[in-house]
Structures are given as C-alpha cells and as structure tokens.
Structure 1
C-alpha cells in the first residue's frame, strides 16, 4: 500500500524524493525501504538530505486507513504538500534549538532527607490468582 497502489505511486512521483516509474517495481517493502534509506544517497548527498520521505510514508499510511475505515479519499498532491510542510517545520524546529552553553559544569549534590520515609512495594503476575503488597514506615532515627 505504501509503494504499490496507484495513489501512493502518484504521491511518490509528485514528491521531491528521487524516484521514477522504475523505482518501486518490487512489491517488497524491505527493498523499497532499502532504496529510501541507502540507495537514494547515491543520487542525493546525505548531508543535504531534507527528503520528506518519512512524512510521505506516514501520510500515505494514514490516507490508506482513511480510505479503508472512513471511506475518505485523499488527494496525492495535497498529501505530498502537507508531508513536505511538516518536514520543513521539523527541520526549522531543529535549527532553532540552540546548542547548550558550554561552561564550567556545576556539580549538583543530592541531599537525602533523614525525615520520615514510607517505602512501598508490590508484586503480581497476570496468571496468578493472588498478588502481594507491603509498606514500611521509617522515622528520622530509621526505626521501623
């Protein structure tokens, strides 16, 4: 459904992903994913890769579910444009996150309170008829 049905093939043709009529001839999802993840890198430099194919896969999948379960047909061009805009928004969000400021690492010490403590634990299995639970209270002098 992601690579072989006519609306999906049309979406791939309309997308910026390097593909053509001979790209997804094999009905193997694995072979087609192999192309998208590794083989297309011989066409497009990986560092320049802003290919929206993960989003296209997702929206083709959602469109297939809409067709099967709700009877809604999605326009392949609309699907591709939406996937591309989501991809661009994701890359823009990644770029706006600034790198953490490198300074002197400050050591944080964890202080444990020696006040009253309540400890709780439980055990169960889905196949057993019984389960167990226990709690213990310790005061500041660690008396139970």
Structure 2
C-alpha cells in the first residue's frame, strides 16, 4: 500500500511529465512559425495564428502587413513557460535582424528577445499564436 507522500510524489511526477510534451510541441510550433516568417512563407506562418485573428485578418491582408520579412535572419525559441491550466504559455524567442547601414559595407546584426503568448483552446486543438 502506498503512503500519502509516495502518492504525492507520483502525482507531481505525472503532472510534470504531462507538461513536458506540450511544451516541446509548442516550442516546435513557435519555431516553425518563425522559420516560415524568415523564409518569407507568410501563408505557412498564418496558420499558427488564432481563429479570432484569422476572422479579422484575411491571408491577403496578413501578407501585406507581415513586417520584418527580409530583415529577420535568425530566430531561436529559448524558453516555454505554461500557466497552471496548461492552456496559455509564454514563449521567449531570440530574434536577430540584419540592417544595412549607410557607410558600412556589411549589414549590422542585432538581437532581442521577443515575448509571445500562445493558447490552446480545447483538449485536442493545436497551439495558436496570439497577435498582440
């Protein structure tokens, strides 16, 4: 028979194990969205946005508004942290841009961390990026 401490440890381990695959999947989705944006494939990037965003922004309008395409040259998802519900996560992405500067023969690169919010609406739904 299991004592109370053993049960608590087993439950905590099960909860941690349940979060890991979701965070791994979300990390992959976030990286795929950035890879699509960097390569200029805005149609592929568009599928990662929420249904609410898609209801107000057509693919054509998104294509016209996709700023940064051509300037971004690298993005690397660094961290994923989900809230207790497991349906809302913060994703930190290290994004590098390359800008041509007058008087310099090579572009100047600079990086910054972009903080993103991703949500999951239902048990079997995909993760979606929340445009803010």
Band the TM-score falls in, shorter-chain normalisation: under 0.3
**Considering only CA atoms, is the larger Rg found in Structure 1 or Structure 2?**
1
Question: How does the TM-score come out when normalised to structure 2?
Answer: 0.24
Question: How does the TM-score come out when normalised to structure 1?
Answer: 0.22
More strand by share: 2
